[in-house]
Structure 1
Amino acid sequence: MPYALGIDVGGTFTDAVASDGAGRIVSAKTPTTPPNREAGVLRAIEELAAELGIGFGELLSRTDYIAHGTTASINALVQGRVADVGLIATKGHRDAIYIMNAEGRTLGRSAHEVQDTLRQRKPEPLIPKYRALEVTERIDHAGQVLVPLDEDEVRRVARELVDQGVEAIAVSLLWSFKNGAHERRIRELVHEIAPDLYVTLSSEVSPRIREFARTSTTIMNAQVGPRLRTYLAPLRKQLEAGGLTGPLLVMQSEGGTITADRAPEHAITTVGSVLSGGVIGGLRLAGQLGHRNVITTDVGGTTFLAGLIVDGEPIMAPGSVVNQYPINAATIRVHTIGSGGGALASVDAGGNLRLGPQSAEAVPGPACYGNGGTRPTNTDANLVLGILSERGLLGGRKRLRMDLAREAIREHVAEPLGLTVEEAAIAIHEVQNAQAADLLRRAVVQAGYDPRDFVAYAFGGAGPAHCAGYCQDLGVREVVVPLGPVASAFSAYGLAASDVVVSAELSDPSSFPVGPAVFEAHYGRLEAELQRALDRQQVKFHDVTVQRELDLRYSMQVTELATAVPDTKFTERTGEEILDRFEEQYERINGSGAGYREAGVQAITYRVRAKASLGFPVQLPEVPRAASADPDEALVGQRSVCLDSQLGFVRTPVYDYARLRAGHELTGPAIVEVPTTVVVVPAGVTGRVDRLGNLVLGYQ
């Protein structure tokens, strides 16, 4: 029987899921192994094989494909551990990345930080100026060549960069998004000098108007591409040596995969790969449960992530910001803060308790792990509060040290604040819930939606322990904790269930609406480009769907809204239909009556996205049904647990999830223990096991 595997390499843990497509799913969780993360991947697959009762080689030989999400790209950018890159730009325009379009001080900053003008700073340059060189050429706004490319100058500049020891070259010319011929010729000339050098072109990575964002995207692609290639190539070889004959696929920010041999060329699209897995998993689960509007919440070891599914589709964004630099790569809109299970708790100079964004990560980990960590984390607080047992997780294989957790909290939080260890622990727990709730409000309300219209899904190693707290004030109808065979490996389940996704776009600024001939020309070109991209994947697809969209804005505005374009035949009425969709979306975000069509509307960027199904049915199986709603058969004891600073420690029943069945109902306070996580059911909350084994929390 064939299998599909999903591998989610996080900052703290590597999660893995295997599905046979016939209803059997198993999962595994192992520590991430930096800097050689491939070792953790192989170990996770070994554990999957053990769960299935077969050998490592047999599992790989029977695997149709592996879908892999990795933090390698985003971590490299955030931490500055990137390749040395040179830039080749049009003469007179290399300084675009240093001027930063006059927005470098505010990009990616919160409203509060933007208002604090005295503390605003530009980020460090992506590359030093001596590695940003120029060549003579000019293409105009219509894509016509005005000044031919000076090829001798290109050879001289390329030689200078190679002599400087760069590992990659980014090429971003002024009007290349209209005509990429000069960029393609530069790559040919560079490869005459250095045949194996990584060269990336803005016309291929980011064919959008706006020079600064396009150039920063291209440079960052060059910074992470060589490292991603260095990671994926040996991993693929080890997997193939172990027996894998199917493709190794890599998750992208926009919620779909591409083959590992193509991923380094478009490395920037993998920056949000592990962020997308949970949303795609939520999308698949929502399809089984019949939910149309879902808030996905993922509390891992390092971060808290929140995404939205509206009317059965994830909310997308045309780009993102990392280190105050824009990235032109379509992405599932995921809001994130550094507030996971390993978030470090500290007291600042003003006597305020802080949690995150720094994390204990996999090494050394929380103090209670006993791996050398001495600073307190959210996990240490949960142990002191009785939420976690000293038996620990992973079926008791990872025992937790209460003495080390208490000492870390005492030294770094309790004594500086004049609190007992228990008071400090509940303060850490409540700060975690408050930070998560604040992020959810921003994610939902600022996008123009009412939380009461949504169901929340809570997953990740620490999500089930906190979800009842951080969702309580939002007004959501219920919280679904995906358990069963996926438990805290839910993002890996999303990877295994994902499609292959490729996209293409082009910028052609013009007044809107336009006629059907323009639509046919642009979308015809883009869809042909998509077909070529799908053919290059060399994967057999079950079916392919294409989605069209168009970035629109009111005249004189500086930001656009991505607007869905009908998939029907283009007519004279198509433009008006798109305008209606644009204004409906604009008013939902900015308020009723905010639209003003009389100001004029501009079309900026046309985009298409193809989703290609691999035809593997990765669905959660149903679980046996209980004879009655009474869960006493799953009760394994009681322990003293503190879930509320006002109530203090309360004797709380503890249930073994393995003994729960569909239809069982719990009344809080209660703790449900799962091998890789725990679910907290506070007082005033009920829990019901649904037909898929999920625990559904409801507020009384």
Structure 2
Amino acid sequence: MAYALGIDVGGTFTDAVASDGVDRIVSAKTHTTPPNREVGVLRAIEELAAELGVEVGELLAQTDFIAHGTTASINALVQGTVADVGLIATKGHRDSIYIMNAEGRTLGRSAHEIQDTLRQRKPAPLIPKYRALEVTERIDHAGKVLVPLDEDEVRRVARALVEQGVEAIAVCLLWSFKNPDHERRVRELVHEVAPDLYVTLSSDVSPRIREFARTSTTIMNAQVGPRLRTYLEPLRRQLEDGGLKGPLLVMQSEGGTITAERAPEHAITTIGSVLSGGVIGGLRLAEQLGHRNVITTDVGGTTFLAGLIVDGEPLMAPGSIVNQFPINAATIRVHTIGSGGGALASVDAGGNLRLGPRSAEAVPGPACYGNGGTRPTNTDANLVLGVLDERGLLGGRKPLRKDLAREAIREHVAEPLGLTVEEAAIAIHEVQNAQAGDLLRRAVVQAGYDPRDFVAYAFGGAGPAHCAGYCRDLGVREVVVPLGPVASAFSAYGLAASDVVVSAELSDPSTFPVDPAVLEAHYARLRAELDRALNRQQVKFQDVVLHREVDLRYSMQVYELSVPVPDGAFTERTGQEVLDRFEEQYERINGSGAGYREAGVQAITYRMRAKASLGFPVALPEIDEADGPDPSAALLERRPVCLDSQIGYAPTPVYDYSRLRAGHEIAGPAVVDVPTTVVVIPAGVLGRVDRLGNLVMSYQ
């Protein structure tokens, strides 16, 4: 028997899924174990083996691959626990990372924050200036060498940085994306001085025009690369020593995996690895259910995440922003806020109830865990409201204490607001729904789409408890809660169901459309790079699908849109078809009639992505059908639950998910208990179990 494993290491829980590729999928959920997160990973694998009834060594020996999503990279950047990095730049250009292209005060800020000019601040620099050094060289915009590289100067600079104790060096030279020879020689010279030092080149990590974004991406890659290597190498060795024969793969932000050996070289591509897993899981489920447009919503212990699938493909972005610094790495567009099950509730100086962005995380966790946490969270509120039962989480292996939850809410929310504990708890619950609903509305509408054209998928440990509430005002057709064998480990399922994805890009600013021969040359070069990258993965592929795109903008504008380039040979018609797609996309985002082709269009960056299938089927199995819609055989109990502040506590039917079958219907208000989560069906909502064991909710 062969298996595929997906492991999602979140801030609070580590989720895992194993599939035999035929008819069996099992899942497991354990606590994340910072700072030694590999401990939680190994525990999750042990639980998978127990579910399958095999020894751990037997499971690993029969595993084709493990796809792993980790928060290690993004957490390191956000929290500042990164490697000490030195920068080598072209003489006269080191300050680009500090000048920040005059956009440092506004990057990553909301429209409201941008308008508040008095409070705008640049972020702290990525590295201190004394670790940003320069070397003599110059290449022009066409890639021609104007000034040779001063190799003796490079050696002196490298020694100076090593003496400062840097753990990695980022190299970003002017116009290196047109000619990388000087950067590659710098790496060779640095390794003469320090053979084992981590060195990353902008021409490898971010071969795009725009010096500031390219430099920030390269520095951040150097900041997280050594830490990712320190995490992955011991984990890989432990798995191999335990019997793993297949590769350990790491999810990237763009929704595909690379081998753990290659991941540290391109560490910046893994910052959204956990975020991408849920969207890929949603994509696989949508293929089974026949949905083309899906809003994926994932409420974990720390964050609320929202992604879009449009016309059967994840909505992508050419980059992202972390801590007000741009990252040039293609990514599935995922919107996030710190509003998960462990989000801390508090009252600010103005007497307003706040939920998040800080989280109780895995340690100490919500107050009700009894691990020393004293601050109230969304989980504590749901326990007080009766949504969660004191029997606890993880199938009863994690008992919950309502007395500690009540005390935390009383001290930090109820008394400061002059409310009862119950009133404070329902306020926390409703703030969670409101924050999630606002994020969803922005994610869909700002992308130029109508929520009424979408189905929502809701997963994560806390998502099913809130989804009917935060989706109510969106106007979506229905909400699907993936349960069955994956339940709250849905992101891990997405990892197990993922493909290997590699991408390549090059910048060549010019007026568009260009000569078809130019397009042919550009994409032939990118295809050659992808072939080399795929060969380095050292895994077997069933098939490879290529996707081409180009970043276009109107002349004199500063932001581009990524536009698909049609398959097939390049002709004069190709350029016109791409322009039509560009204007259609531009007007969808900015309004009908906003396009103005007469201004001229510029191509900036060409990109190609290869999606290589591992050939492992990870479809969800169908479940038994019920004799009729009546779910009374699955009724577990009736307990007091507060789902509406106007109604208060009311005896509410609670159903045991394990007894539900396809075709059962549950009219709200009701609660469905699942070993790793709980589903809330409010009044006016009908829940129906579909053929895959999902609970599909529709508004009456």
Q: Please give the TM-score of this superposition, normalised by the length of structure 2.
A: 1.00
Which residue does 1:185 correspond to in 2? 185
Which residue does 1:516 correspond to in 2? 516
Matched, 1:197 2:197: yes
Matched AA of 1:56: V
What secondary structure, in the 3-state scheme, does the structure 2 residue paired with 1:246 have?
Answer: coil
Which residue does 1:366 correspond to in 2? 366
Fraction of identical pairs, as percent: 87
Matched AA of 1:509: P
Distance 1:220 1:15 in 2: 27
Per-residue CA distance 1:231-255 (angstroms, 9 max, x = gap): 0000000000000010000000000
Which residue does 1:24 correspond to in 2? 24
Which residue does 1:650 correspond to in 2? 650
Distance 2:636 2:222 in 1: 54
Which residue does 2:436 correspond to in 1? 436
What secondary structure, in the 3-state scheme, does the structure 1 residue paired with 2:125 have?
Answer: coil
Which residue does 1:142 correspond to in 2? 142
Matched AA of 1:388: L
Which residue does 2:460 correspond to in 1? 460
What secondary structure, in the 3-state scheme, does the structure 2 residue paired with 1:184 have?
Answer: helix
What secondary structure, in the 3-state scheme, does the structure 1 residue paired with 2:473 have?
Answer: coil
How far off is 1:572 after superposition? Answer: 1.2
Matched AA of 2:165: G
What secondary structure, in the 3-state scheme, does the structure 2 residue paired with 1:149 have?
Answer: coil
Which residue does 1:471 correspond to in 2? 471
> Which residues of 2 match residues 220-299 of structure 1 at below 5 A?
220-299=220-299
Matched AA of 1:27: S
Which residue does 1:34 correspond to in 2? 34
Matched AA of 1:363: V
Distance 1:366 1:593 in 2: 51
Matched AA of 1:271: I
Which residue does 2:338 correspond to in 1? 338
How far off is 1:627 after superposition? Answer: 0.7
Distance 2:396 2:37 in 1: 24
Matched AA of 1:181: D
Which residue does 1:2 correspond to in 2? 2
Structure 1: 5+ residue stretches without partners: none
Distance 2:319 2:23 in 1: 36
What secondary structure, in the 3-state scheme, does the structure 1 residue paired with 2:81 have?
Answer: coil
Distance 1:571 1:308 in 2: 32
Which residue does 1:686 correspond to in 2? 686
Which residue does 2:602 correspond to in 1? 602
Distance 1:87 1:685 in 2: 57
How far off is 1:650 after superposition? Answer: 1.1
How far off is 1:395 after superposition? Answer: 1.1
Per-residue CA distance 1:3-40 (angstroms, 9 max, x = gap): 00000000000000000000200000000000000000
> Which residues of 2 match residues 77-96 of structure 1 at below 5 A?
77-96=77-96
Per-residue CA distance 1:163-220 (angstroms, 9 max, x = gap): 1110000000010010000000000000011000000000000000000000000000
> Which residues of 2 match residues 540-551 of structure 1 at below 5 A?
540-551=540-551
Matched AA of 1:149: L
Which residue does 1:561 correspond to in 2? 561
> Which residues of 2 match residues 586-625 of structure 1 at below 5 A?
586-625=586-625
* Deviation >2 Å, runs of 4+: none
Matched AA of 2:420: T
Per-residue CA distance 1:289-338 (angstroms, 9 max, x = gap): 00000000000000000000000000000000000000000000000000
What secondary structure, in the 3-state scheme, does the structure 1 residue paired with 2:572 have?
Answer: coil
What secondary structure, in the 3-state scheme, does the structure 2 residue paired with 1:411 have?
Answer: helix
Distance 1:568 1:586 in 2: 24
Matched AA of 1:205: V
Distance 1:274 1:668 in 2: 32
Which residue does 1:411 correspond to in 2? 411
Per-residue CA distance 1:412-466 (angstroms, 9 max, x = gap): 0000000000000000000000000000000000100000000000000000000
Distance 1:456 1:650 in 2: 28
Matched, 1:528 2:528: yes
Distance 2:214 2:636 in 1: 58
Matched AA of 1:410: R
Which residue does 1:390 correspond to in 2? 390
Distance 1:656 1:289 in 2: 24
Which residue does 2:481 correspond to in 1? 481
Matched AA of 2:586: Y
Distance 1:648 1:588 in 2: 43
Matched AA of 2:62: R
> Which residues of 2 match residues 316-331 of structure 1 at below 5 A?
316-331=316-331
Which residue does 1:72 correspond to in 2? 72
Distance 1:602 1:427 in 2: 50
Distance 1:168 1:407 in 2: 47
Per-residue CA distance 1:122-177 (angstroms, 9 max, x = gap): 00000000000000000000000000000000000000000111000000001001
Matched AA of 1:231: Y
How far off is 1:548 after superposition? Answer: 0.1
Distance 2:97 2:43 in 1: 42
Per-residue CA distance 1:553-603 (angstroms, 9 max, x = gap): 000000000000011100111100100000000000001000000000000
Q: Please give the TM-score of this superposition, normalised by the length of structure 1.
A: 1.00
How far off is 1:480 after superposition? Answer: 0.1
Distance 2:91 2:22 in 1: 59
Distance 1:414 1:572 in 2: 68
Matched AA of 1:248: L
Which residue does 1:15 correspond to in 2? 15
Per-residue CA distance 1:627-650 (angstroms, 9 max, x = gap): 111000000110010011111111
Distance 1:115 1:379 in 2: 35
The alignment's C-alpha RMSD in Å is: 0.3
How far off is 1:341 after superposition? Answer: 0.1
What secondary structure, in the 3-state scheme, does the structure 2 residue paired with 1:500 have?
Answer: strand
Which residue does 2:538 correspond to in 1? 538
Matched AA of 2:310: V
What secondary structure, in the 3-state scheme, does the structure 1 residue paired with 2:474 have?
Answer: coil
What secondary structure, in the 3-state scheme, does the structure 2 residue paired with 1:578 have?
Answer: helix
Distance 1:205 1:501 in 2: 15
Structure 2: 5+ residue stretches without partners: none
Distance 2:132 2:46 in 1: 46
Which residue does 1:496 correspond to in 2? 496
What secondary structure, in the 3-state scheme, does the structure 2 residue paired with 1:573 have?
Answer: helix
Distance 2:374 2:72 in 1: 26
Distance 1:597 1:11 in 2: 47
Distance 2:422 2:188 in 1: 65
How far off is 1:492 after superposition? Answer: 0.1
Distance 2:320 2:650 in 1: 45
Which residue does 2:218 correspond to in 1? 218
Distance 1:229 1:512 in 2: 41
Distance 1:505 1:696 in 2: 41
Matched, 1:104 2:104: yes
Distance 1:402 1:294 in 2: 36
Per-residue CA distance 1:353-401 (angstroms, 9 max, x = gap): 0000000000000000000000000000000000000001111111000
Distance 2:232 2:68 in 1: 10
What secondary structure, in the 3-state scheme, does the structure 1 residue paired with 2:64 have?
Answer: strand
Matched AA of 1:413: V
Distance 1:280 1:217 in 2: 25
What secondary structure, in the 3-state scheme, does the structure 2 residue paired with 1:686 have?
Answer: strand
Distance 1:111 1:354 in 2: 20
What secondary structure, in the 3-state scheme, does the structure 1 residue paired with 2:529 have?
Answer: helix
Which residue does 1:638 correspond to in 2? 638
Matched AA of 1:404: L
Distance 2:433 2:395 in 1: 26
Distance 1:404 1:468 in 2: 28
